[in-house]
Amino acid sequence: MSEQDRATVGGVILAAGESSRYESGNKLLATIDGKAVVQHVGETACESSLSASVAVLGYESVAVAETLDGLSLSVRPNDEYAAGQSTSVRHGVEYAQESGWDAALFLLGDMPFVRAETIEQLIDAYHSGSGSIIVPRHDGQRGNPVLFDSRHFRTLASVSGDRGGRKLIETHDGTASIEVEDPGIHRDIDTESDLAAFMDRHSGL
């Protein structure tokens, strides 16, 4: 078994945003099949073979944390959430470093339709040595979640605003894309109409 095969991959759920475009409150607390959007993300992370997961919380953190209660994951507060997603990425990187992870998979708290199988494909691609950044693609377009080897943690922690790791993904020669049969990697919820449309498509799968 190679070192890469034994590598520890953890999950970071970015769930601190203000949902500024969602008309009726916090999109992470909107419900699908009786469960909050972010709860679906947390359950998928816990169903996968990720060694551990942490949810980075900010806006309405108490209410969001309540939806994750009972799941086998940790929560980490981000009091700087208003400054953009990069602050949550930085908190996630810090948690990953403290936990000794070899890589971190960053999941978005507003993407409830990503399949656990997709997470497994990303982890498998990393373990096989495909790249130090593993990105899913569906129908030719890149999506989320994205896996980063620990060699990128310092760079991720230094980004600002809402770009997250996008520039690193686009420019690093260690980025590998893998094709997945999962339209959920493109379905982030920003508005109520997004949620309604995605639920309609999801019910037809």
Q: CB under 8 Å, gap of 24 or more: what pairs does 92-95 form?
A: 92/12, 92/14, 92/54, 92/56, 93/12, 93/153, 93/156, 93/157, 94/157, 95/10, 95/12, 95/54, 95/56
Place of tokens 């996630």: 92
- Report, in angstroms and rounded to the nearest whole number, the Rg of the chain calculated over CA atoms: 16
- 30-75 pLDDT tens trace: 999 999 999 999 999 999 999 999 999 999 999 999 999 999 999 9
Query: What topology is assigned to 9-203 in CATH?
Result: Spore Coat Polysaccharide Biosynthesis Protein SpsA; Chain A (3.90.550)
Ranges in the chain, pLDDT < 70: 1-5, 23-24, 161-164, 201-205
Residue 112: asked if its preceding bond is cis (omega within 30°), the reply is: no
- The domain ranges of the chain are 9-203
* Residue 169 · residue 146 · CB < 8 Å: yes
HSE of 50, CA atoms in CB hemisphere, 13 A: 31
Q: What pLDDT does residue 165 have?
A: 81
Quick one: which of 54, 60, 69 has its CA closest to 30?
A: 60
